[in-house]
A and B are shown apart, each in its own frame.
Chain A
Amino acid sequence: MNYSMSPPQASNFSGWHDLLFYALLALTAVFTLIVGVAVVFFAAKYRVGSKANRARPVHEHLPLELTWSIIPLILGVIMFLFGTKMFIWERTPPKDALNIYVVGKQWMWHIQHENGVRENNTLHIPVGKAVKLTMISQDVLHAFYIPAFRIQYHVVPGRYTQTWFTATKPGTYHLFCNMYCGTQHSEMGGYVYAMEPKEYAAWLARGGEDTPHLTMEQEGARLWNKLGCGNGSCHGSSDSERGPSLNGIMGKTRKFTDGTSVVADDAYLRESILQPYNHVTAGFENTMPAYQDQIEEEELMSLLAYIKTLGNTPPAKTPLEPGKGAPLSGPYNKSVPSFSTGAIEAQRPGRPGASPGNNSVGAESVQKQGSKE
């Protein structure tokens, strides 16, 4: 659980907004304190029966009235000037801003980048570059709200509205619809991914895919690492105590502890992964865990593709997990803040989790919508 009391500061406006906010907070605290102290003090001093001097009470006092009219007035006008200055800044996008287009509809955000890349319920943007959003709604009113950037503007049917910001800190931030728009209003949102410009460019170049396209072999290598097949002494480059080497296994005849044998092919390898106990290679114990129901067929195909390469070439340099290695590093990867993904199952059994391809909130709305129809 996160006990923060303020949203992250992640745009050019955040600092100024918070300065203004805390100034107003100080003003509120001071005036509340003045009134509170005066009330308590008077209540105590002039409680009925007290010996306080009550001679010549005052009922009207023009200078006093003017004082407490003019001081708040001046303070108010000062705050007005700063607030207005900031608002005018917020309403004046720089000319060289990056254009991104937003369409709101019940209950999704469609976002389009200038090179044609589209995304739903997520917004990828580069840090350090002014971004101008041009927005319109297909149906009712919505409001595009990114608390971390301190920006919000209505998305109105029949007219374009604009807002802009410059993200300053890479990270994943909330995107909300903040104008009530019907049944799934609270789920019309997602995440903003602020990334380093280079990574944003790479993301755009990938056509908006979160991960670069991997060949089946690369994907298989990734799984090989993930499942730890080559870890320790299981399936190394040569046979070990725990397991046989799989180098160049395809087409070779395998001998089993029960005396039978088979020529290794795709079917054999698949079975050996899912139900390794069926055929334990001679000379080894039945120690390998069964991967039945643990692995998708698609993944299995990739894994087999990788296994076939073992021993042919020096072991392929395997890409690492997203978020751990070079091409996928940075905060923009899809591991949304840790509290986000698990929360759904944790809070409400039966609620479908965020789908792997799109961790945004609205994606779920779409699924639900689809299933109803």
Chain B
Amino acid sequence: MSDLNPSNAAAPEGEPTHDEGVSYLEAGHTIKSWLLTGDHKRIAILYLISTTLFFVVGSILAGLIRLELTSPAGVLLENDTYNKVFSAHGIVMIFFFLIPAIPAVLGNFLIPLMIGARDLAFPRLNLASWYVFMAAGVLAVFGLCTGGVDTGWTFYTPYSSLYSNTQVTIVIMAAFLAGFSSIMTAVNFIATVHKMRAPGMTWFRLPLFVWAAYATSVMIVLGTPVIAITLALVVLERVFRLGVFSPELGGDPVLFQHLFWFYSHPAVYIMILPSFGVISELFAAFTRKRVFGYHFIAFSSIAIAGLGFLVWGHHMFVTSQSMYQGVVFSLISFLVAVPSAIKVFNWTATMYKGHVRMQTPFLYALGFIGLFTVGGLTGLFLASMGTDVHLTATYFVVAHFHYVMVGGTIMGFLGGIHFWWPKMFGRMYPEFWGKLSAISVFVGFNVTFMPQFIVGFMGMPRRYHYYYFAPEFQIYNILSTAGATVLAFGFALPAFYLTWSLKKGPKATANPWGAHGLEWQTASPPITANFVSTPIVTDEVYDYSHMDEYEQQKSTLEMDKPGTPGVETKDGEVIAEEPK
């Protein structure tokens, strides 16, 4: 699929070159070789470990919330503790899992591989970003362990600046630092995508994942500094009484909300756009077809990045912003739904006349389509001002953004992890368990959050610890908690079988899925320098119809034959070829 240098012309195209160089996993086994690495792939693994840890922390907190809400008057927590738990859940999940998960793990690992570069533009900056991220994480955990915060992840003033007696300062500093970490990553991605593409890799030959990561990076660069300075001003107000947001000090609390949502609404797209990219890749690979409407998907990412900055006011329809402001924000919010709809339709259309293979990553992708469609459409209820007045800040909103962020981002993340797992570690995972996990997550998720739409419509406010005065809410909360246990099972499974696969999984070939893309051209796991020599790209993106004879044979003719590398057998097993 791409011309290799003459020196390697003898090797069949697409054939992994196992004997050239050492895999990045083998290039040093000391802890130091990991902690001081400049290799984007190793940094991605560092991020994978750390974000997974934060996900576990956030999930345990979520479990506590769900347990507490099974009874209208609580189960084991006090008011203050409950408030700290849901705040910590939001802060950990958003700042330390959802925002970094896909860009910092999959983006770090894949962008240089996908564009044919040896590394990101700034390897040391990349490593620094991980250290800053870890410093932020440690600071946040320290803050949460030494008193916690009870402000919610939104840190609304004046509660956060003058009223709360908790560790707001420390946790805000942590969020501030985490923001810097994502700015570092974003600057790195922008420079890399602009200047480090391999010869022949034009903008419209970029895989859609790269487009999505690029759009995300632009949003991070534009949005994150705003939240950073806003949170810094909250700290100044809290510590030095430099009043900017508190009415008692002459300030305006609604200004905080404007600045906060100016970042935090785009942050939703920062979380979901990379997932869109992953889903595009999965659809191409598992239908063996060029993604339908490539240009429309690419431009819709840019449209979302642009429009995403103009809709923050829809969080504030009832917060005393002017009515006319609300009208404009509402209209743009409806408009931003269109590029998302375009994406969903294009993905669906990609399956038309494809060769659909129901393997684990694709199950996640289909789950994503279902959940994101519901999540996106329920967003319209909140973009429409008339209905938002009733629904805002109820469990309807909670359900909506979980559909988008869990159903969107986490499904995309897990789908991506399963798809590129053989590339990252050179091992296959057991297909049966993978499918079970995907189905459990999908079912568990719907049972968890569908009832929250209903209870939200009934008027249950979010962030409520007790609802003994409204026991009609209880049945839905119990259903939700029941679903959460299934969801937890679905999330826990991959931790076990993926870890198992690291040592015991069958060895993966360079291209176990028969997928198109530069990252599948190099060995699994890739060598430190990614490619033996800089690839030259001559074919179009997702060009499955013109894959060379070798790939054709491997991917279409032998596909139905059990025992083919990376191809599903009737038992749902993936059998990979033994290393040479």
Q: A185 at interface (Cβ–Cβ under 8 A)?
A: yes
| Residues of B contacting A: mostly | helix
In residues 93-137 of chain B, which contact A (Cβ within 8 Å)? none
Residue of B nearest to A42 (CB): B351
In residues 310-348 of chain B, which contact A (Cβ within 8 Å)? 317-320, 323, 326-327, 330-331, 334-335, 337-338, 341-342, 344-346, 348
Judging by beta carbons under 8 Å apart, are A178 and B290 in contact? no
Judging by beta carbons under 8 Å apart, are B374 and A32 in contact? yes
Q: B293 at interface (Cβ–Cβ under 8 A)?
A: yes
Cβ contact of A32, chosen from B83, B351, B377, B461, cutoff 8 A: B377
Binary contact track A71-94/B, C-beta < 8 Å → 1, others 0 = 011001101101111111011000
**Max chain A CB contacts within 10 Å: which of B318, B319, B346, B560?**
B318
Residues on B with C-beta less than 8 A from A91 are 323
Cβ contact of B390, chosen from A1, A150, A156, A161, cutoff 8 A: A150
Judging by beta carbons under 8 Å apart, are B79 and A49 in contact? no
Cβ contact of B389, chosen from A3, A28, A151, cutoff 8 A: A151
Q: B381 at interface (Cβ–Cβ under 8 A)?
A: yes
Interface locus among B155-163, B169-177, B488-496, B501-509: B155-163
Interface locus among A62-70, A263-271, A303-311, A322-330: A62-70
Residues on B with C-beta less than 8 A from A54 are 353-355
Judging by beta carbons under 8 Å apart, are B156 and A180 in contact? yes
Residues on B with C-beta less than 8 A from A68 are 341-342, 345
Judging by beta carbons under 8 Å apart, are A86 and B385 in contact? yes
Judging by beta carbons under 8 Å apart, are A73 and B338 in contact? yes
**Could you tell me the distance between the alpha carbons of A31 and B340 in the complex, rounded to whole angstroms?**
13
Residue of A nearest to B291 (CB): A59
Q: B289 at interface (Cβ–Cβ under 8 A)?
A: yes
**Could you tell me the distance between the alpha carbons of A46 and B287 in the complex, rounded to whole angstroms?**
8
Q: A244 at interface (Cβ–Cβ under 8 A)?
A: no
**Could you tell me the distance between the alpha carbons of A351 and B78 in the complex, rounded to whole angstroms?**
13
Cβ contact of A186, chosen from B248, B346, B465, cutoff 8 A: B465
How far, in Å, is A237 (CB) from chain B's closest CB?
Answer: 46
Residues on A with C-beta less than 8 A from B461 are 145, 176-178, 186
Judging by beta carbons under 8 Å apart, are B326 and A47 in contact? no
Residue of A nearest to B470 (CB): A174
Cβ contact of B459, chosen from A55, A88, A148, A182, cutoff 8 A: A148
How far, in Å, is B44 (CB) from chain A's closest CB?
Answer: 30
Q: A124 at interface (Cβ–Cβ under 8 A)?
A: no
Residue of B nearest to A180 (CB): B463
Judging by beta carbons under 8 Å apart, are A86 and B472 in contact? no
Q: B383 at interface (Cβ–Cβ under 8 A)?
A: yes
How far, in Å, is B106 (CB) from chain A's closest CB?
Answer: 23
Residues on B with C-beta less than 8 A from A86 are 385-387
Residues on B with C-beta less than 8 A from A87 are 317, 323, 326-327, 330, 385-386, 388-389
In residues 279-327 of chain A, which contact B (Cβ within 8 Å)? none
Binary contact track A161-186/B, C-beta < 8 Å → 1, others 0 = 10000000000001011111111111
**Could you tell me the distance between the alpha carbons of A17 and B386 in the complex, rounded to whole angstroms?**
7
Judging by beta carbons under 8 Å apart, are A76 and B318 in contact? no
Decide yes or no: A347 and B73 within 8 Å by CB, A27-B380, A182-B159, A183-B80 being known contacts: yes
Judging by beta carbons under 8 Å apart, are B296 and A52 in contact? no
Residues on A with C-beta less than 8 A from B296 are 60, 65
Cβ contact of B377, chosen from A3, A27, A60, cutoff 8 A: A27
Q: A38 at interface (Cβ–Cβ under 8 A)?
A: yes
**Could you tell me the distance between the alpha carbons of A5 and B459 in the complex, rounded to whole angstroms?**
10
Decide yes or no: A347 and B475 within 8 Å by CB, A46-B353, A47-B356, A87-B326 being known contacts: no
How far, in Å, is B271 (CB) from chain A's closest CB?
Answer: 21
Residues on A with C-beta less than 8 A from B380 are 24, 27-28, 76, 79
Binary contact track B360-395/A, C-beta < 8 Å → 1, others 0 = 000000100110011001101101111111101110
Q: A198 at interface (Cβ–Cβ under 8 A)?
A: no
Q: A372 at interface (Cβ–Cβ under 8 A)?
A: no
In residues 8-49 of chain A, which contact B (Cβ within 8 Å)? 16-17, 20-21, 24, 27-28, 31-32, 35-36, 38-39, 42-43, 46-49
Residue of B nearest to A137 (CB): B247
Residues on A with C-beta less than 8 A from B253 are 141, 156-158
Residues on B with C-beta less than 8 A from A17 are 386-387, 389-390
Decide yes or no: A83 and B353 within 8 Å by CB, A49-B559, A58-B292 being known contacts: no
**Could you tell me the distance between the alpha carbons of A142 and B292 in the complex, rounded to whole angstroms?**
47
Judging by beta carbons under 8 Å apart, are A187 and B466 in contact? yes
Judging by beta carbons under 8 Å apart, are A183 and B378 in contact? no
Residue of A nearest to B326 (CB): A87
Residues on B with C-beta less than 8 A from A64 are 349
How far, in Å, is A329 (CB) from chain B's closest CB?
Answer: 24
**Could you tell me the distance between the alpha carbons of A223 and B342 in the complex, rounded to whole angstroms?**
71
Residues on A with C-beta less than 8 A from B154 are 180
Q: A213 at interface (Cβ–Cβ under 8 A)?
A: no
Residues on A with C-beta less than 8 A from B388 are 83, 87
Q: B471 at interface (Cβ–Cβ under 8 A)?
A: yes
Judging by beta carbons under 8 Å apart, are B330 and A344 in contact? no
> Count of chain A residues with Cβ under 8 Å from any Cβ of B?
94
**Could you tell me the distance between the alpha carbons of A268 and B340 in the complex, rounded to whole angstroms?**
83
Residues on B with C-beta less than 8 A from A181 are 159
Residues on B with C-beta less than 8 A from A72 are 337-338, 341
Residues on A with C-beta less than 8 A from B71 are 347-348
Judging by beta carbons under 8 Å apart, are A141 and B247 in contact? no
**Could you tell me the distance between the alpha carbons of A51 and B10 in the complex, rounded to whole angstroms?**
37
Residues on A with C-beta less than 8 A from B292 are 58-61
Residue of B nearest to A189 (CB): B469
How far, in Å, is A20 (CB) from chain B's closest CB?
Answer: 5
Q: B241 at interface (Cβ–Cβ under 8 A)?
A: no
Judging by beta carbons under 8 Å apart, are A1 and B474 in contact? yes
Judging by beta carbons under 8 Å apart, are A79 and B384 in contact? yes
**Could you tell me the distance between the alpha carbons of A47 and B353 in the complex, rounded to whole angstroms?**
9
**Could you tell me the distance between the alpha carbons of A340 and B394 in the complex, rounded to whole angstroms?**
20
**Max chain B CB contacts within 10 Å: which of A16, A154, A158, A180?**
A180
Binary contact track A114-155/B, C-beta < 8 Å → 1, others 0 = 000000000000000000000000011101010110111110
**Could you tell me the distance between the alpha carbons of A43 and B366 in the complex, rounded to whole angstroms?**
10
How far, in Å, is A185 (CB) from chain B's closest CB?
Answer: 6
Residue of A nearest to B82 (CB): A186
Q: A343 at interface (Cβ–Cβ under 8 A)?
A: yes
Judging by beta carbons under 8 Å apart, are A179 and B384 in contact? no
Decide yes or no: A157 and B381 within 8 Å by CB, A2-B472, A185-B83 being known contacts: no
Judging by beta carbons under 8 Å apart, are B254 and A43 in contact? no
Q: A357 at interface (Cβ–Cβ under 8 A)?
A: no
Residues on B with C-beta less than 8 A from A7 are 457-459
**Could you tell me the distance between the alpha carbons of A52 and B353 in the complex, rounded to whole angstroms?**
8
Decide yes or no: A185 and B464 within 8 Å by CB, A43-B358, A49-B559 being known contacts: yes
Residues on A with C-beta less than 8 A from B331 are 77, 80, 84
Cβ contact of B373, chosen from A35, A59, A176, cutoff 8 A: A35
Residues on A with C-beta less than 8 A from B377 are 24, 27-28, 31-32
How far, in Å, is B329 (CB) from chain A's closest CB?
Answer: 11
Residues on B with C-beta less than 8 A from A143 are 318, 393
Decide yes or no: A48 and B357 within 8 Å by CB, A32-B373, A88-B323, A183-B150 being known contacts: yes
Residue of A nearest to B466 (CB): A186
Judging by beta carbons under 8 Å apart, are B386 and A16 in contact? yes
Show 16 A/B contacts (Cβ-Cβ < 8 Å), sorted by A.
A1-B475, A21-B381, A35-B373, A42-B354, A54-B355, A58-B352, A59-B294, A72-B341, A76-B380, A178-B392, A185-B463, A185-B464, A186-B464, A344-B73, A344-B468, A348-B468
**Which are the 10 A-B pairs with shortest beta-carbon distances?**
A147-B459, A158-B247, A86-B386, A83-B384, A87-B385, A42-B351, A186-B464, A347-B73, A348-B73, A2-B472
Given contact pairs A69-B338, A80-B383, enumerate 6 new A-B contacts (beta carbons under 8 Å). A42-B348, A59-B289, A60-B293, A140-B156, A140-B159, A180-B462
